Amino acid sequence: MVKIGNIEIGEFPLLLAPMEDITDPPFRKICKNFGVDMMFTEFISSEGLIRDALKSTRKLKIVEEERPMGIQIFGHDIDSMKKAAALAEAAKPDIIDINFGCPVRKVVNKGAGAALLKDIPKMIEMTREIVKSTSLPVTVKTRLGWDEKSKVIVDIAERLQDTGIQAITIHGRTRAQVYSGKADWTLIGEVKKNPRIKIPVFGNGDIDGPVRALEVKEKYGVDGIMIGRASIGNPWIFQQIKEFLNNGILLPAPDIFERIRICKKHLLMSVEMKGGKTGILEMRKHYSGYFKGIRNFKSFKIALLQATSLIETEDILNNIEQTYKNLGN
């Protein structure tokens, strides 16, 4: 049983990666129903929390059904990160996670996220101070290094463990790669095989289905995997991976009607939580995933992306359902 501190999260846990405007409560609820073992909030700016910015503070909300649940924070200033950790702890998550991996320019240019990979002493000091400031288990998500010339994750992982963190998640790319090229799991495996590493090591990057999940489990020995982009509009991936790892069964992809059913459920929760305008806009990021691989779908996708109200979107989804029923699919 894998533990983060005293929190049990499964034999080979599947983690949902924190993603801006994606891993909100509606999507988390759906993923939980399909078997994810641990989830995180969207990543939250330390400065936003301290300023009591609405966009940041609303991300703190956690419901009991989501547990075990982590709040992920990012920032460039150590004191601000300590204050943000305290505010996050007050929201009663199970874990505080530090983002040292976000490659997005607007985050990196502020000296946060993956930018800390260029200042390892500051990364270590920030982590140590946050660990000291909270009674909750602290975990870290990071990358292999800043670029090809500085893949220092094996050394960093040891130093981070020495600060008192309880687990580490490693994305198999450098910051310079952002999301291009293939994720390299070799160094993730080296971290796991390092006899000095006693904390759980989770791998992240290019897990697109059950076969790849089994491959990295067996080849690199990680304690679990974190899935990000492949889950967008595709919550079934967690169920499919678990069924394959536990029973050797490759579940078929959901048919069009199951996709519509879950998409409608997701849509209603999104609108209920965020209001019509924001709920509709943020759902647009999920449609490509929900309807990936469905033939003759282009015109429907365009209509969904152009819809501006709940009624209009539901009408389009109902039309899609009826069309494919008529086609016998």
Question: What's the confidence (pLDDT) of residue 296?
Answer: 86
Cα–Cα distances in angstroms (integers) from residue 267 to residues 229, 264, 273, 282, 283, in the given order: 19, 5, 10, 9, 7
Is residue 31 among the annotated active site residues?
no
Question: What's the confidence (pLDDT) of residue 70?
Answer: 96
Mean of per-residue pLDDT scores for the chain: 95
From the list 137, 166, 170, 173, the residue with the least C-alpha distance to 155 is 170
Which residue of the set 17, 30, 73, 102 is catalytic?
102
Q: CB burial class (10 A; 0-12, 13-18, 19+) of residue 303?
A: middle
Q: In percent, how much of the chain has pLDDT > 70?
A: 99
Average pLDDT over residues 251-259: 95
Question: What's the confidence (pLDDT) of residue 295?
Answer: 87
Assigned fold of 3-247:
TIM Barrel (3.20.20)
Question: What's the confidence (pLDDT) of residue 46?
Answer: 93
pLDDT of 328 over the 90 cut: no
Question: What's the confidence (pLDDT) of residue 21?
Answer: 86
pLDDT of 329 over the 70 cut: no
Q: Where are the domains of the chain?
A: 3-247, 256-327
Structure tokens at 240: 């499919």
Question: What's the confidence (pLDDT) of residue 53?
Answer: 78
String of b and e for 25-43 (b: at least 16 CB within 10 Å)? bbbbbbbbebbbbbbbbbb
Q: What is the pLDDT of residues 107-158, one digit of tens each?
A: 999 999 999 999 999 999 999 999 999 999 999 999 999 999 999 999 999 9
Q: What is the pLDDT of residues 191-237, one digit of tens each?
A: 999 999 999 999 999 999 999 999 999 999 999 999 999 999 999 99
Give residue 113's Cα distance to chain centre: 14
Cβ contacts of 106-114, under 8 Å, gap ≥ 24: 107/74, 108/175, 110/76, 111/76, 112/45, 112/46, 112/74, 112/75, 112/76, 113/74, 114/142, 114/143, 114/146, 114/175
Question: What's the confidence (pLDDT) of residue 54?
Answer: 78
Question: What's the confidence (pLDDT) of residue 259?
Answer: 96
Question: What's the confidence (pLDDT) of residue 255?
Answer: 94
Predicted confidence band of residue 57 (pLDDT cuts 50, 70, 90)? confident
Question: What's the confidence (pLDDT) of residue 168?
Answer: 98
Strands 95-100 and 138-143, by their bridges, are parallel
CB 239 within 8 A of CB 254: no
Assigned fold of 256-327:
1.10.1200
What is the SS3 string spanning 81-135?
Answer: HHHHHHHHHHCCCCEEEEEECCCCHHHHCCCCHHHHHHCHHHHHHHHHHHHHHCC
